[in-house]
Amino acid sequence: MRIACDRLVLPDGELTDVVIDLDSDGIVQSWSTGSPAATPDLAVALAVPAFANTHSHAFHRLLRGRTNSGGGDFWHWREVMYAQAGTLDPDRMRFIATAVYSEMVAAGYSAVGEFHYLHHRPDGTPYQAHDMELALAEAADTAGIRLTLLDTLYLQGGLGRPVEGAQARFTDGTVARWHERWRSLRAALADAHPTVVLGAAIHSVRAVGPGHLADAVAGLPEDVPLHVHLSEQTAENDECLAATGVTPTALLARAGALSERTTVVHATHLTDADVTMLGGAGVAVSMCLSTEADLGDGLGRAADLRDAGARLTIGSDQNVVVDPFDELRRLEGGARLAAHRRGVLSPDELWRAGGIQGHIALCPLGAPVRALRVGHPFDLAILDARSVRTVGADPHELMLAASADDVLGTVVRGTHRESAHLRAVAVANYLRAEAGHGQ
């Protein structure tokens, strides 16, 4: 596919009259500035590198606009979420994931990390053929998004407490059985969905106790992306300190879980020592700003984490909002509120947080990054430069002005997907998921 861009905004500057040749996998074959030698397959006025969504729970989309009455906190919201989790079978999972993944591509995301723990039937009985995981892979294929499936270890309902209720379908019972299912899933995906990246996740230190963390990490290939919820709630920190004498960050560090292949999710309530440990390990941090605001989690320490050496990325988490521009505005907005000044994170840092740093967090360690380089994968989000939000804006600052509605289409793996069509697919599949409720 040959793409001609009048303007291509990259983190370190803007290129004009760019011509990019991509193969069917979205790998850059060549690129140049100047007029194309032949008529392009796609000509666009304004484009940016496509965004990476480093943290999603697709089924949470079913809660959008349904949990705001009556107040409450994260723990109250979690009970509502658990009730929804109990309604899902593979068909309903496929429909809702197709809906939310289509919405993501329509918004300019080309890759998603799906933090997945609904492995089994509601009573904990295993599916025979990775039915829930393959439903997610099928949804990603339909939507056209690059999927990193973060298969999640979940062993207990809290430090020292057994799983109960909806959590029965989350657990494999032991680390060894999780590793066994993970390896079996890897083989199944290689056969049926070879483009899916299989990563791994430790749900949290609440769900995987200190006696199991090191074994969980040691049993995985060293290049596999490893994600973990970290310190989203102060209650999690208090419980961990009471049980172990250290913070969740220190507990993960002790188990060898923090490294360049690790992405910690939220990391909202950190001590100074936690920040130093995370930065020193070179982790990525998935900050899910719309979710953290929706649940009243608190403001994370974005600038401190950046200064310590961590790599900032964004996630949509519960998918109340699917809009990378909104996440990036909230990222900088939160940093401004904390620092009482503007420009805490520069535009180039925000572009990297929304793009390349997120893509790295979703790829095996050492894999080619998604960048405008020959031999590397590269995806594009095509923007409307003349909407009421974008007209007149400095292109380098568009992440602070545009919205998902300004994305006209996204090029993923060398295929152009129009946003209007994808939004219709999202609505249709959401309605199919609702129609399947209770069947």
Please tell me what DSSP assigns to residue 374.
T
Q: Is 41 helix (H, G, I), strand (E, B) or coil?
A: coil
Contact 228/252 with Cβ under 8 angstroms? yes
Q: Confirm if 295 and 372 have CB atoms less than 8 A apart.
A: no
> How many angstroms separate the Cα of 71 from the Cα of each of 52, 76, 235, 300, 437?
31, 9, 18, 22, 26
Burial level of 428, CB count in 10 A (0-12/13-18/19+)?
Answer: middle
The enclosing H or E element of 254 equals: helix 248-254
Distance, in Å, from the CA atom of 291 to the CA atom of 106, rounded to the nearest integer, reads: 20
Cβ distance 316 to 106 under 8 Å?
no
How many Å apart are CA 368 and CA 379, to the nearest integer?
A: 13
Residue type, 228: V
| Cα distance between residue 273 and residue 431, in whole Å | 47
Give 17's DSSP letter: E
Three-state DSSP class for 352?
Answer: helix
51, 398 contact by CB (below 8 A): no
Residues labelled as active-site residues: 266, 317
Torsion of CA 317, 322, 324, 327, to 10 degrees: -60
CB 372 within 8 A of CB 22: no
**Which neighbouring-strand residues pair with 188?**
none
